[in-house]
Structure 1
């Protein structure tokens, strides 16, 4: 039986930051390739005209997902409350975009700043964990007011010292104690951190809102050593019906490439990456 999923691709595969000017370049191409969903990575909400995005989605018969970018100025575990407020303002703008486009969740590693990976004392770790819980409860209330959920994404140990595994994010959600809190898993991070990706997906269960994939080296799905059979068994076991989105990046944007440690292209072309990756995923899901 085929997996009852839709397929998406992240705008980060081609561009950063996404803006209104990206729409005529990306949306028709993504639709022509056969994708159901465009995953819009919102780095700067002021660059995005929501009405133009809505018109583009309708024109090209695409759905949207919205994911966020969390650098040092958007850190809910920072000691300075002003940094929290800056993050709340950014998340508010992203949630408003979700609401305007009819998107049911906002995803990303919004508990802390990407790249915040240190060895700290247990008492500091506890303080930061408690700050994440406290502030994400506020975010959940903001999301629920708009009829939206948040999808919290574990990152690998080189990008976060707070939430690395499905077990970690489940503990975070348990502490938040809010129905709007859910999970987004990313196969790249899982391939580094999880002992068993099938069991990690099963553990996430009905809290799994979204799944991002690429190869173990962030390349085109089907060209590496990812255990795609284990991913499929896990998704079948929890009757996952969401979107499976390809997320990778481009070396064309040096700032983004430096942030995600992309020192060389992962495919001959980004269009080829997207086309061949979707072909593989559709065969995998049959």
Structure 2
């Protein structure tokens, strides 16, 4: 397993759960100094950060790009894969496709979280899931062509009414035509929705392609009540080899949150 920390470069989501903010170079330098293996980026668009600049910074600081978030498509443009308007769904697929191409330059998958949307009033959940499946099938094929996976994230019930648990997520991605979609196990969402985080991880097994490392209150691990010993044991038992990425609030500030995160990562995963 490899350590990762999040960097957000979108001012409109300043209250969100990302450790570092705004200054890409300074954030990457701090991540490298602490010993992180990689960074996960949340940008406003696929061209918000020139690929050659990001490549140079990654090389300078010895960091990998673990994944790229797509949530700006919803936050800034109101795009989701389950909007009743087919034109908006098409724009959502295009936005995610561009983000996928950007990430694939670095071997990094794109994450679909908030852009999955909801079954809105007047639309049956079955129909919304059909639209979601259609979008993921299209995007999964493009991910395969680019040599990366596509990461789908079950969210808690307060953020989506579609898929909230890993078990449901496994059934859903197994129903897709594409085999290039994997699940994101976000420990914060799981603390709300899962009966047992460890058993859910064991059950999902190889379907898990990314982990978001945040405590029960969305603060860095060690600042809430998540039973991390059990979670770490389960991830080792399924032979998870991906990133453990801190998508947590910068509490009490970014530097202390990053230090707490890497300390916790080493506590649970370096032995």
Same fold (TM over 0.5): yes
Match of 1:151 in 2: 151
Query: d(CA) in 2 for partners of 1:186 and 1:117?
Result: 21
**What residue is the counterpart of 1:97 in the other structure?**
102
Shift of 1:182: 0.8
Q: TM-score, normalised by structure 2?
A: 0.89
Q: Which is further off, 94-103 or 66-75? A: 66-75
Q: Check conservation: 1:215, 1:223, Cα contact below 8 A.
A: yes
State the alpha-carbon separation in 2 of the partners of residues 100 and 17 from structure 1: 26
- Residue 195 of structure 1 deviates from its aligned partner by 0.4
The answer to whether the Cα contact below 8 Å between 1:111 and 1:132 also exists between their aligned partners in 2 is: no
| Preserved CA contact (<8 Å) 2:114 2:159 | no
Aligned to 2:18: none
> Deviation at 1:111?
6.0
For residues 33-70 of structure 1, what are the alpha-carbon distances to aligned partners after superposition, in whole Å with 9 as ceiling and x for unaligned? 11011111133223111110010000000001222215
Contact 2:212 2:244 (8 Å CA) reproduced: yes
What residue number does 1:198 align with? 198
Q: Distance in 1 between matches of 2:204 and 2:155?
A: 15
Provide the rounded CA distance (Å) in 1 between the counterparts of 2:10 and 2:88. Answer: 27
Structure 1 residue aligned with 2:169: 169
| SS of residue matched to 1:44 | coil
Tell me if structure 2 keeps the 8 A contact 1:76–1:110.
no
Matched, 1:68 2:74: no
| TM-score relative to the length of structure 1 | 0.84
| Structure 2, unpaired ranges of 5+ | 14-21
Compared CA separation, residues 16 and 8, structure 1 to 2 (3 A): farther
Q: Report matched runs for 1:1-286 at 5 Å.
A: 5-12=1-8, 16=11, 22-65=23-66, 66-69=68-71, 70-71=73-74, 73-103=78-108, 105-109=109-113, 112-113=116-117, 116=118, 124-249=124-249, 266-267=251-252, 269-285=253-269, 286=271
8 A Cα contact 2:185 2:210, kept in partner: yes
CA distance in 2 between counterparts of 1:221 and 1:111 reads: 26
Please give the per-residue CA displacement for 1:6-38, whole angstroms capped at 9, x wherever unaligned.
1000113x86479xx733221111101110111
Question: How far did 1:84 drift?
Answer: 1.1
SS at structure 2 position matched to 1:173: helix
User: Helix, strand or coil: the match of 1:101?
Assistant: coil
Contact 1:110/1:152 (8 A) holds in 2: no
Q: Secondary structure at the match of 2:200?
A: helix
Q: Deviations over 1:191-229 (max 9, x none)?
A: 000001111111211111110111110112112110102
**Deviation at residue 95 of structure 1 after TM alignment:** 1.1
